[in-house]
Amino acid sequence: MERDLISKKELLDEKGISYGQLYRWKRKQLIPEDWFIRKSTFTGQETFFPRDLILARIDKIMNMKDDLSLDELADKLSPALPDYEMRKSDLVKRNIVSSIVLQRFASEDDDSLVYAFDKLLYFYVVDKLLQAGEMSMEEGERLLEALREHFPKFAGKACDLVFTRKMGVSSFALLSAPSELYFESGVKVVARISMTECIEQLKGKWV
């Protein structure tokens, strides 16, 4: 999976920002360390970024930096889980998680029960995969279990969820990002989701 990369120089030209701004944002942890990809080119060492991620992030920073301080921005963008909470009934109302998912996985919970952000995140990820039609309900249940058991271990570090299937047998894995992963032939990677992106998307729903 070769990602589309953008060089630092291109990025600065395209977005009209300066080196100083880029380094400042990096210092403030607005841009994660692991997006800085060092590569040798014929002109020497150059730094590249994952194009889609960095362009979206720079836009976000430029849009919000007038209203928020850089530290507030950092909180919003960090992979650490915020202490947002939401009532179960609001989840459906605000179209964050579909009612089918809640019926299936949270039917015994009371409507007024308040979920912490990590619980919401698990539902959100399961919902996302179900909506994409890539996963069955039974698999969703297993995914939910896997997330509950293993996701807290990453403790705020960036991680990816990988969903594979071989000869009809599915399995889930959580791995720290960025990492490269190769499978034997016959294994189909159904989905690879960045949990960090999911957290950001979910955080975005609060605004």
Q: Which residues bind other proteins (CB under 8 A)?
A: 9, 12-13, 18-20, 22-24, 26-27, 43-45
Smallest gap from Cβ 177 to other proteins, in A, equals 19
Smallest gap from Cβ 61 to other proteins, in A, equals 16
Smallest gap from Cβ 16 to other proteins, in A, equals 9
CB closer to other proteins out of 10 and 111: 10
Largest CA distance in the chain: 62
CB count within 10 Å of CB 51 equals: 16
Q: CA 73, CA 203: separation in Å to the nearest integer? A: 12
Q: CA 144, CA 131: separation in Å to the nearest integer? A: 15
CA atoms within 13 A on the CB side of 168: 0
Smallest gap from Cβ 43 to other proteins, in A, equals 8
Here the tokens at position 46 are: 């150059």
Of 152, 148, 173, the closest CA to residue 163 belongs to 173
CB closer to other proteins out of 78 and 194: 78
Query: Contact at 8 Å (CB) between 120 and 97?
Result: yes
Here the tokens at position 78 are: 């960090």
Smallest gap from Cβ 44 to other proteins, in A, equals 6
CB count within 10 Å of CB 207 equals: 6
CB closer to other proteins out of 74 and 96: 74
CB closer to other proteins out of 29 and 98: 29
CB closer to other proteins out of 6 and 12: 12
